Amino acid sequence: MFADFYSTFATVSLTVTGLWMYVAQARFREWIADRDHFRRASAISVTLAFPGLMCLFALIDPENSTLWRLAFGITSVVAAALLVGLRRRSVGAWGRANAVGNWVAAALFVAIALVAVFPEAMDDMGVSGTPRRIEFFLFCLLLFDGLVVAWNMLFAEAQDTTR
């Protein structure tokens, strides 16, 4: 069951990331002129790609709980740090969808890291389901968050700050 989810989700996540990269490439000149806009587009890339990357790591040995815990914990912390760093390096205010979506994604990555590092805490909290199923749900939320923010970003206007 775990291998089926990981392979399916990795395919979906990385396919959506590829589509986002196509959009980013098509609007590259416009978005690169506004460094904050470029950072927002980069944050969407992190939100869409990192869950797929984590699933690929988990596919190395789906039954090895130490591997998925380590891969999910480290990758999630890196993703959350990237999202916070991209936001902090911005000089202008982000659009509401980008700002909220970025913080939601960072919080979801932190939650994934916590579930991976402390899976027994889920049982102590009375949360039903295995930690991996909770991770599955958090991955789906991340994908949804990334798609919503990407959709809003697609129609946002970049400001040319090179002039």
pLDDT digits (tens, 9 = 90+) for 19-61: 999 988 888 887 777 777 788 888 999 999 999 999 999 898 8
Q: How many Å apart are CA 101 and CA 140, to the nearest integer?
A: 14
pLDDT digits (tens, 9 = 90+) for 78-109: 999 999 998 887 777 667 778 889 899 999 99
Q: How many Å apart are CA 13 and CA 5, to the nearest integer?
A: 12
> Token pair for residue 161?
């700050």
* Residue 159 confidence (pLDDT): 56
DSSP state of 81: H
* Residue 152 confidence (pLDDT): 85
* Residue 125 confidence (pLDDT): 66
Contact call for residues 67 and 56 (beta carbons, < 8 A): no
pLDDT above 70: residue 160: no
| Phi, psi for 36 (deg, rounded to 5) | -65, -40
pLDDT above 50: residue 163: no
* Residue 64 confidence (pLDDT): 75
Dihedral sign (CA 34, 143, 121, 132)? negative
> What global pTM score does this model have?
0.86
- Closest CA relative to residue 121, chosen from 113, 110, 131, 135: 131
